[in-house]
Structure 1
Amino acid sequence: MSGVGEILKAVGDFGPFQKRLVLIAVVPCLSVAFQQFCQLFMVPNVPHHCDTSWIRAVGPNLTEEEQLNLTLPRDADGAYERCSRYSPVGWDLGSILAYGLNATESCRDGWVYPSAQPPSLLTEFDLVCDRKDLHDISQSVYMLGLFLGSVIFGPLSDRIGRRPVILISIFLQGLFGVGTAFVPHFYVYMAFRCVVGASVTGITMTLLSLAAEWIGVSQRPKAVLISHCCFALGEMILAGLSYGIRHWRLLQIAGSAPIFAFFFYMRVLPESARWLVTKGRVEEAKQLLQKAASTNKCTIPAGLLEQLKPEIQSKPGSVLDLFRKKHLRKVTLIMSCTWFADSLAYYGLSLNVSNFGLDIYLTQLAFGAVEIPSRIVCIFILQWFGRKKTQALLLLLSGLVCLVITGIPEDQPVVTTVLAIIGKFTASAAFSTSYVYSAELFPTVLRQTGLGMCSMSARVSGIMAPLILLLDQYHPVIPMAIFGSVSVVVGLLCFLLPETRGTELADDMGDSHPPAEVRENANSSSEKGHVKGKDGGQDNECTKTTYF
């Protein structure tokens, strides 16, 4: 163990200092949940039709119903067409009444919406008819921002530190989040949302690294669980906030401005002591460690701080190393597919919340609420059934739920919503499992590289999920069929992975023993109750295990 690790053991794994650090992360987590799904409530499905005010010039006394009867064609159900109108003509009103209008055209002069409807993205930027796809495209642009954030802020946090990147990301999210409420054009809106997406990744990824570097191994799952539950709580708050504020610009301000509260307690946000030591800033690290010990009411043994020296960094593994070894190649490919399927099912259900037939606000509230027990239950399932079975079965269940939804009639919204909530439960649990499983499958020298590879795979599927939802214009079951099929196939692939429950974390690339062999050796050793020392001398205790 490194010198910092020994000192952190003396400081305490999860004392008041670490608890305060987790508490600091609450506000950003709540804001992240808002940014992820706020647009769903800014594009309500409202009635609309083409602007046909041209006829007022020749018939100023026409009632609204008479105007629509003369200028709008009707569909097969007898309702007015939403995306076409009769072409204007230069006739007088008598000729129009006598002969009628026949030629149709698209809505060249815009659309008319209910006057009582609060301003929304849909009504202000006309996201209807041939422009309705911009809604889902903008969601993909936001997901692209998440991808870019992982590419930019990951290396940046290793270069300049965790604390500066967190503050930069929070400033960008607040600035562009609030600024989004004042954009004049939808393409500017999409650009701002892309920056917000990048800042979201900078916050979540760097806060996770900072917490992991301050909190002991045994307590890290608890910290991850708390952050995930705060995200779910943020989803529930979004449902209430969007229900009370229907004006999209005010909603954007209300959800984005609170992130600036973070700067009121930015002084108590610590830098990572581990990072400081790797950069040779040992004195700063010592001061922080002493402060943490004081907060936790602990005493660092005399002389331990003086032994702290800059760590000699070994050559980091590269992406190519993930594919050179057969067992690592299999793990990398399957886990990348797993993260891809996790993200596809999760966002496929979350972004489709308005299409399940029930009230969108209640559905969002249920979607957020169900994530809290799913994260908690996941911990116990991992302990009881192991990583491989848990990962595979959760993906299979989420995929099967999506496939079952495709067979539910449209006049059964309650059944569809209940199934969607079950799917969200399993998809959320599958995502949490992937975090744990991946960290145990990749060796220490390649762990960050492997997790980064998996995370990028999840970002790609996040970009694709809104675009797949566009396929419902060809048939409404296509998106859910794709989400379900991918999850089922990848769930079956997970059975090819080795089990890691109860095994030591691998440090090297396993030249002599791939993970499956390590597992078998660990089991056989535990059955014997002891392991022979390499010098053939006195027996040692059974193999050390790492539990989650």
Structure 2
Amino acid sequence: MSGIGEILKAVGDFGTFQKRLVLFSMLPCLNLAFHQFCQLFMVPNLPHYCNTSWIRAVGPNLTEEEQLNLTLPRDADGAYEQCSMYSPVDWDLGSIVAYGLNATEKCSSGWVYPSAQQPSLLTEFDLVCDRKDLNDISQSVYMLGLFLGAMIFGPLSDRIGRRPVLLISIFLQGLFGVGIAFVPHFYVYMAFRCVVGASVSGITMTLLALATEWVGVSYRPRAVLITHCCFAIGQMILAGLSYGIRNWRLLEIAGSAPMFALFFFVWVLPESARWLVTKGKIEEAKKVLQKAASINKRTIPPGLLEQLKCETQAKSGSFLDLLRKKHLRKVTLIMSCAWFVNSLVYYGLSLNVTNFGLDIYLTQLAFGAVEIPGRVGCIFLLQWFGRRKSQAGTLLLSGLVCLIITGIPEDQPVAITVLATIGKFAASASFSSAYVYSAELFPTIIRQSGVGLCSMAARVAGIIAPLIRLLEQYHRAVPMAVFGSAPVLGGLLCFLLPETRGAELVDDTRGGHTAAEACENANSSSENGQVKVKDGDQDNEYTKTTYF
């Protein structure tokens, strides 16, 4: 084991310092769910029809019903057409009543929303008829922001550190999140949402790195997945918040402003000691390690700190190492595929919450609630069955459920919602597995770059997911068939990955094996729970823990 690994064991695997770090990580995670899914509640499904107030110039005393009868055509069911109107004419009212209107055209003067009470994105920016697709396109733009954030903040975190990237991301999310509430045009709204999406990626990846690099191997799944449970709780809070606040601008302020309260992280958030060591910042690493040991009421043997100084040299890693080095290439490609299909099914179900036939607020509450046992259960799955089987199994389950949904009739909303909830359960557990698994597979020196690349693949799927929903105009089962078949394929590929349960983290890319492969090689010679793990140029023993 490397010097930093020995020192972290002396500091404590999961003492007060690490518990406090996990607590700090939980706070922003409560808010992340808001930005992921808030737009679902800002675009309600409202009845609407063309604005035909032009006829008031010749018939100011017409009742609303008379106006609609004269100016709007009806569909086959006898209801007023929502996206077409009779073309305006220069006739007097008597002629219009006597002869009627025949020529039709698309709505040219906007729309009327008779049942709207509070401003929403739909009513304020007219996201109906020809503009209806802007709703799904704007969701894809937000996912594009997640992609850009993964592309920018992953490598940036490896270059300048976990702490500054997290602080920058929190600031951007608070600033542009509140700024969304004051945008005058929908295209400005989409641009601001893109920046918020980038900040969400920066927060999630950096929190993952800090939790992974500070917490001991046996407690690592628990630390990471506790924050994921907070994301699920955030979805439940969103359901209640959006139910109580129907004005979309006020809802945006209520969901974004709390991020400014996290500026106290400037004083309390630690940097990753592993990252400091890989960058050759030994003195800074010693200070933060000694502080952590003091908070945990532990003592670091002086000899260990001196070994850190003379044993560890500044290491460098390249983003290209992920594809250039054979032992990382397979991991990178398969995990990127797993993240892609996982994101596809997760957002395919989450963004489809308005189409399952039941109340959107109750469905969102159920979707958030089911993620908690999914993510908590994932902790035990990872320990009992290992990372590989857990990742593959949950992906397969989520995909199979979506394929089953394609055969359920539309007039069975309860059955569809129950199956979708099961799919969301499996997709959530799979996402949590992917975060833990990826962080353990990539070396410290390029961990954020590796996770960032996987996250970029997931964000590409997030961009595509809302657009796949547009295929339902050809057949309602097409989107769900796509969302189901992809994770089945990804789940099968995951069986080709190495296992990482009980393996120590690898810090650099010089070795010919990942931590997982080293652990697998060592398993063949393990006795009585003692496992040898190759780390760099040394073979070291540690006790393989399978409990918490």
TM-score, reference length from structure 2: 0.90
Give how far 1:301 is off.
2.7
Q: Give the AA of the match of 2:393.
A: L
Amino acid at match of 2:344: L
How far apart, in 1, do the equivalents of 2:411 and 2:525 lie?
A: 58
* Secondary structure, aligned partner of 1:156: helix
User: Alpha carbons of 1:171 and 1:471: their partners in 2 closer, same or farther (altered >3 Å)?
Assistant: same
Consecutive unaligned residues of structure 1, counting only runs of 5 or more, are 533-539
Partner of 2:493, secondary structure, is helix
Cα deviations by residue, 1:132-170 (Å, 9 ceiling, x for unpaired): 111111111111111111122222223333222211111
- The answer to which of 239-248 and 489-498 deviates more is 489-498
Would the alpha carbon gap of residues 528 and 288 (structure 1) be closer, same or farther in structure 2, given more than 3 Å must change? closer
Secondary structure of 2:38's partner? helix
Single out whichever of 247-256 and 206-215 deviates more from structure 2: 206-215
Deviates more, 1:183-192 or 1:391-400: 391-400
1:417 — aligned with what?
Answer: 417
Aligned to 2:210: 210
Is structure 2 residue 24 aligned with structure 1 residue 6?
Answer: no
Q: Residues 72 and 85 of structure 1 are in contact (CA less than 8 Å); yes or no, is this contact kept in structure 2?
A: yes
Check whether the contact 1:471–1:478 (CA below 8 A) recurs between aligned residues: yes
Q: For residue 536 of structure 1, what is the aligned residue in structure 2?
A: none
The aligned counterpart of 1:316 is 317
Shift of 1:362: 0.7
Q: Deviations over 1:423-445 (max 9, x none)?
A: 00011111122233344555677
- Is the alpha carbon distance of 1:545 and 1:37 closer, same or farther for their aligned partners in structure 2, counting shifts above 3 Å? same
Deviations 1:486-529 (A, max 9, x none): 12222233344455556677788899889998787555434899
Contact 2:321–2:328 (8 Å) recurs in 1: no
1:289-438 aligned within 5 A:
289-309=289-309, 311-316=312-317, 318-319=319-320, 322=323, 325=326, 329-438=329-438
Q: Distance in 2 between matches of 1:158 and 1:395?
A: 29
Cα pair 2:274 2:444 within 8 Å, conserved: no
How big is the shift at 1:297?
1.9
Q: Report deviation, 1:336.
A: 2.0
Which region of structure 1 is more displaced relative to structure 2, 34-43 or 257-266?
257-266
Residue identity matched to 2:371: E
Question: In the TM superposition, what is the alpha-carbon distance from 1:363 to its structure 2 partner?
Answer: 0.6
Aligned residue in 2 for 1:535: none
Cα distance in 2 for residues equivalent to 1:285 and 1:14? 18
Residue type at the aligned position of 1:340: F
Matched ranges for 1:114-133 at <5 A: 114=114, 116-133=116-133
Residue deviations 1:172-221, cap 9 Å, x none? 11110000000000000000001111111111111222232322222221
362-371 vs 449-458, greater mean Cα deviation: 449-458
**What is the 5 A alignment of 1:427-466?**
427-441=427-441, 448-466=448-466
Which whole-Å deviations, capped at 9, do the CAs of 1:400-443 have from their partners, x for residues lacking one? 11112122222211111111100000111111222333445556
Is contact 2:503-2:516 (8 Å) kept?
Answer: no
Structure 1 pair 156–130 and aligned structure 2 pair: CA distance change class (3 A): same
Aligned residues of 1:337 and 1:457 also touching (Cα < 8 A):
yes
RMSD, aligned CA: 3.0
CA distance in 1, matches of 2:441, 2:166: 28
Asked whether the 8 Å contact 1:146–1:459 carries over to 2, the reply is yes
| Aligned equivalent of 1:254 | 254
Q: Structure 2, unaligned stretches of length 5 or more?
A: 533-538
Tell me, yes or no, if the aligned pair for 2:367 and 2:424 is still in contact at 8 Å: yes
Greater relative CO (CA pairs within 8 A, separation 6+): 2
Percent same amino acid among aligned pairs?
A: 78
Alignment of 1:164-179 (within 5 A): 164-179=164-179
Letter in 2 for 1:162: R
Instruction: Quote the Cα distance in structure 1 between the aligned partners of 2:513 and 2:308.
Output: 33
The superposition leaves residues 96-115 of structure 1 with CA deviations (integer Å, 9 ceiling, x where unpaired) of 11111111101100000126
Q: Give the equivalent residue in structure 1 for 2:483.
A: 483
Find the aligned partners of 1:531 and 1:130 in 2 and give their Cα distance: 63
Q: In the alignment, which residue of structure 2 is the partner of 1:493?
A: 493
Change (3 A) 1:348 1:503: same
Whether 1:28 and 2:24 are equivalent positions in the alignment is: no
Task: Report how many residues are paired.
Answer: 541
Tell me: CA distance 1:529–1:202, structure 2 relative to 1, closer, same or farther (3 Å): closer
> Structure 1's 202 and 509: CA in aligned 2 closer, same or farther, altered over 3 A?
closer
Query: 1:395 and 1:306, CA in 2 relative to 1: closer, same or farther beyond 3 A?
Result: closer
282-291 or 424-433, which moves further after superposition? 282-291
